[in-house]
Structure 1
């Protein structure tokens, strides 16, 4: 094989036989293959939309159906202005076939629609393998909110350089289009910006970051700059006091120093002690072995809901200065249906609802991660009122599962069906012959 050979990706066993030039040629081949695969995915997505047009009977898919916070009141169609509407429950089978969440599948469909109907020059370039599909999708998402005329402006301005430009240039041209074609929204942007001022605290749950949280503030530029300067000054002062942590770590610690200083100032001004209004309820998931501290040679570990796994010792230390109610959640295995508590009303009582939420922390639809506290409590076997011939005891934990609103609607419309297995997993059957097993570790395809 030489650097000028026809594009062909060699097997892994042959890689150590390649020269540097040949290896770089293979990198180019891999990029071409990736572009072909990305194009194929977009072409398939576009054809899926063609096969599933919206109608009065099906309704239209909108972003508000995504089942995620912030989208629940949104009736915005998948594609931008000028794109055809897609049937309401078309995204689920497509997303499941890709092995991604419904939200991610909706994004692929939206990108294909926007490229084909709003960015035709870019779409032609993608089909000619002249630009990476991921970059074209980035452009489709950046222009989604623009009018059709503004999107066409961006399309014309970037088509000759999209393959070489980066995100900064894309955003700059998109902002220019918004200013040119949508002057009134642009004029209101400053007022809208103030409406977005807020402070958010997010607890990290990804591996290795237990006990670390993320603070995000959006506000007046001068105010935030002044506060940031104060944080940096305090971080520098910590260094003079002998703190050897990194600058980033010292800036994070400075927040606590500033908060403590403010608390001391308030005590001097108003020495009457104030009772904290903060009430914390921590759901601690742990095994009976960890709870009893049995000598098995392993560290005792629990998982705090929304915060991730921590050692029991770390949890005790972390909560030592916090007024918190700790609710232990013991995982003792499945309870036989005949031993479950059941009620005859449609809505489960609070204790039963809490049990289902703690048992299944997120929507049990394939690849969905919507938190179960914001989900509906679905009757796996549909509930039939007693006065209409329904059997007693239909509302019980083994017949309940958390489903986000979108996937609850998909199940209710009988486009999808599922069952809860004796081991606590779920088996789903889609409308096109595909089946999936949802477990605590994720989703797996189980097609024959």
Structure 2
């Protein structure tokens, strides 16, 4: 049946002729027919927005395809939740919302899909190249990967503290080898924390995991908990992540070995796990100009005095064990009903939507601490130009995504925070506040500062952006809305 349950039957060979007339294959024509039928009969609200010219057809088709396996009742839930969002947010954010709506509509199907994906997990070692470099491909539970990544970051920072002059990416690669000996890795972490080679650090077994904040009215999302990933005990990892190059596509040499095959493991499509080395289909859409280079790009020769000195310290640490020092912070957004019943859909920052039952696997069973609830309606302000951490965290939760028109980058503690109106050193107190600051990725920040864009905050809290040629956009918790009409000064008459 084309289009899913509830769609009328279509003659078996109809797509062949239809495809020939369109100049495409019968398979492509069949998919096109299925999308049209699904929109007309299963997603009537979305279909109405397309007919009214309020939604882009190809985006509606993608929603229809994503819902093919849902029942009519479940598809109706997605239709209701998504119909007003198709052209107000980017395709990546739309995909996440559709996924969350699908999970909410049919939790049994979502649970079964997660279990199928979980069976694809594994660790695969690729072939060595001609220069002694080997690749590793990992598909594992999201929580395990987050903790692994935080530990790699912590080891890289410890190596830097101990004098390793290599760039961050090389220190992270070296950390992978250090992890092969857990006792040696622990000794390096302790030494990096104390700055003393051979001395163990005090115990700190805490793994922090947050719970929901009491409200998210300002953002339009369900009640949220503190968000963001990675706060190792060594500190400074948020900054390290900001500097770390982000690989958005899997390099060919990182593909799973032939015994697994592309059909068995679909790179970048793991919903219940995560891939190390490949943040596929990243919501941040990192651009080349957003990637800060490591301050020291040139590796240091292995025979240099600095390298020999560091190697000597690391050799002393071999075999010196201590206590666990790394910590991971996880931000989870969920409603009070989901928290009370353990049933429903949660949004985990940096991961996307998950079933509530998957949070146990995400957080794990090690010791963890719960952070105090943050009331997002609280107004925080300071007199200084500098932004304290508590204000950063509040803004991060109020605005989970950057506030530039059609912005895609998720807000982190390392995201730029810009004053809507320029800060005046001689102005009144309280100029730095939750209402005067907005999160922007670095490129968007530069566009606002140097690209002749202007922004003002409306009385309802929305942002009114104006482009250099006078086009205006409103950005609020529902997304971006293009203001109707021609830009000021434009003559609509021809010639």
* TM-score, normalisation: structure 2: 0.35
Larger Rg: 1
Relative CO higher for 1 or 2, CA cutoff 8 Å, sep ≥ 6?
Answer: 2
* TM-score, normalisation: structure 1: 0.39
